[in-house]
Structure 1
Amino acid sequence: MTVAFSSDPCYNYESLDRPWRANNESGDYICDESFSWSGWYRLFYYGMDIRMPETCVSSYSCNTYYSLWLSDPHPQIEDGVVIREVCGGTYWGACCYYKPNPIRVKACPGNYYVYELVNPQILCSGYCTDVSTISQAVSTVSPDIFTGSTITFNDDPCNNYNILDNYWRNTLNYWSVYGSISDHDDKIVEWDGWYRLFMNGLNAQMPEWCFYYMTCGGYSSLYLGGSHPRLEDGVVTREIYGSHYYQCSRYRSNPIQVKACPGNYYVYKFTRPTLSIPLPVYCAVPFSTPSVDPCYSYTSLDEPWRATDSYYYSNYYYYGMCDYNVEWNGWYRLFYNGQNAQMPESCVNHGMCGTNYPLWLNGPHPQLEDGVVTRQVCVSSWDGCCTYASHPIQIKACPGNYYVYEFVKPMFCGAYCAGPNYGQYTNESDA
């Protein structure tokens, strides 16, 4: 909630309800120097007033590396706006080893405080809140930061939805690739009604599988805990899960409603995610309908080293073949020595398919009637079969019992695998 009545920060602030900032929380490493701080903030804990600590907070608390607290007491109302030093401790026990930028603080009528939080500019640090200062419950409403348009024709959500076109929701927006994490947080969005996802004006949908944390422009990546419905299913309810490091379903958010619409798109009734999840964002993946049927407009890919029994040490350089260096463009059909092939649907051992990191399909291939579908791609490594998830791809089943794939540049120096096709047809002339 942003309250704006005058220039007095007691009535012109942004509500910051982040329970994970509490000094009794730990486990994540959220860095406040990545945030775009602007103006004054009032701190809350599940809707209740809370203050910054005035005593030492050990490092690794408050879900950050270096926990920030006030080295001086909070002011009185008659003090007006004051400047306070901020301290950050270290893992070896020094309570005020770091002194980041000071902040301004003001005591307000109603027994609460407002803080002009700024970029700390020290390593991975975060402002803490003190659970011992929790006071009376207050009523807050999240700010509306929706930037889009609304289409309204009737009560059918397929014709009455908000357009949500945020490219940063893309699963390609991964912090290790871009070097930093954005400070997007869907808990501060005032969700209202149904939404249709786009990316740069193109159709998109929520992923149905886990993505590594710090993906999609936030910290906790939210995905759909189940498949999208069909047209005949009408409105369905789906669980929402959030990732945490390698734990795909560490967080469980509030469920949402989903509906499939004529024209091959979906609408979602997004709700405010659970407050206890650090910086959650609803993820999106591109989903488009090809203008030309890819079953009859594809590139043949016949490279025997992609076989699931091809070990990369036998013929190739240390890391094996690397699809990261390939300029992928359009749709592809897999062959093995002229025979029909397909991507494997189960785990491929690390070091196979002529590469260090084999890429395989984590889900079944579609049926003819499914049309174009989106599927997750898993990366096998020393740590397991699907320790990492690469970018999703689109797939279509074609008459003649073969598949075409819209391959994209993977996130790792791995390669798409090719395995046997188990159908009736075994070569291109049968298609």
Structure 2
Amino acid sequence: MLNVSSFIMKVLYLIVLAGRLGFAIGVPDPCIDGNYNYLHTPGLRGGACKIQSGKVICDRYINDGWYKVQHEDDPGPRKMLEGRVSPNYCGTSRPIWLNGSHPDIVDGIVNRTTCSHGIHGYCDNVYDIQIKACNSGGYVYYLRQPQSCNEGYCFGVNSPCAKPNPCEPGNSQILHAGEDRSTSCQEKHMTLCDDFMNNVWYRVQRNGKDIKMPTTCVDQHSCGTVHPIWISGSEPVVADKVVSRKGCVNNGNTCRCDKFYNIHIRNCSTYLVYNLTSTTSCPERYCFGHEGECSKKDGKNNLDYLNYVYASVAAVIMLLVLVSIGGYGWYRKTLRLRKIKSEGAMSEKPGIEHLERKEAFQKT
């Protein structure tokens, strides 16, 4: 009997332990891939990330369920902030923080409460959640839908706002590259320049199709300019995320890359995006694509264009000068005529009065 009782006690202990660890029959382990979702906008949930205009986090519309929180640049999953958080941090105006501590792996799934900051203090609204520490590292959280916006869960102790992913819509600009940017456009008279470029992410397209920068040396007088710019190094793969590369300028020293610009590149699976900077001198220009012809319209010399602008401005200025001179002459002439009329009227007035006095004397 003792052996049977001991065996039953051991089984019950194992059942209780399994329940605590979340492995009970019919209860899926939330740490296993597929049993949790990733919480949206993880890069703005850090404790050191102030609220951003136009990008305010609102968890009002999340579904109740298990979540893991990790930004693509994070080395591992993020941890919910323990202790109260000031308003306007974690990317939202009313941050939600953990009112308690995190469990250990042996604790299994535990119940915890969270608080959101409001007009009455740091714990206006209370939400019951669950947490489990995973063997693979990090935690998963059973989160509940907050009552209102803008309430958002805080994840990432002392984490600043993450840089935007240039592959996501709205985080890059379309650079429409004409055929004159191709390496096959070779005209010695063309001196186009990229000194106007903004330091932003560009998705480069020609006729709606994505094109790339060349990764081999480009001859001078190519790409519609004198000193073309090409990439030194290989293109990144998706897993590389953002990489740094040299944008080499062919300044006459063949392919030595004596002068270069630091640029960044990211592989967005089906296309590349480039973080470019404006050139410091002209004529220098980034090359994109290998096929195309120098279009007469796109291939006009910058100098010709500037000459046209200068000539137009000079013509306008000359016209204004002539109009001013003519207007001033007309004004002087008008004043002179008015003066003559005034003097004539004054000289005629005494003669009329003399005749009137003479006629009155004769009548008497």
Please tell me the TM-score bracket, short chain as reference: 0.3 to 0.5
Please identify which structure carries the higher strand content: 1
TM-score by length of 2: 0.39
- Ranked by relative contact order (alpha carbons within 8 Å, sequence separation 6 or more), the top structure is 2
Bigger-Rg structure (1/2): 2
TM-score by length of 1: 0.33
